[in-house]
Amino acid sequence: MIKSIVFDLNGVILDSSTHRMDEEMVDLLRYLSDTDFKLHLFSNTSKQAINILDAKYDFLKYFHNVILVEDTGLSKPSDASFENLLKVTGEAGEEMVYIDDGEDNLRQAKRYGMIAIPFVDADRLRISLASLDI
């Protein structure tokens, strides 16, 4: 049973080409935050950059956990970073959906039993989540 959804920031919620938040993704986060699923942010992005974005877009409030390489010293896609993700959330990989635009990160998520969804855009993500009854 899926209990949580894990999001990368850069290339998923944040448009890497414009350095702006994807408003459709912020809307999706808002919607998902009102469900029974826990949302987690798992990112190699710096805390300073995330705080600047949050001051402008107020999006961190949607996440139960914000797991950053800067805080842990563990960068994706290392085994230690994914083991820390499981420890912090208290959930098994099989209970998580993992969303990222990086192939290495997605491959690692699958190794830990997560349902890995490659991010292309918000519309395709909605379709993928709906296929999982989310």
The pLDDT tens digits for 34-68 are 999 999 999 999 999 999 999 999 999 999 999 99
Mean pLDDT in residue range 71-85:
96
CB of 63 closer than 8 Å to CB of 88: no
pTM: 0.96
Mean pLDDT in residue range 91-115:
98
Select from 3.30.70.890, 3.40.50.1000, 1.20.120.160, 1.10.3720.10 the CATH code of 4-117.
3.40.50.1000
Token pair in block for residue 127: 């379709």
pLDDT at 18 (0 to 100): 85
CB of 60 closer than 8 Å to CB of 66: yes
**100/8 Cα distance (integer angstroms):** 5
Per domain, the residue ranges of the chain are: 4-117
Residue 16 has pLDDT above 90, yes or no: no
pLDDT band at 19 (very low <50, low <70, confident <90, very high): confident
**12/44 Cα distance (integer angstroms):** 13
Report CA-CA distances (Å) from 76 to 23, 63, 111, 120, 132.
Answer: 25, 19, 13, 19, 25
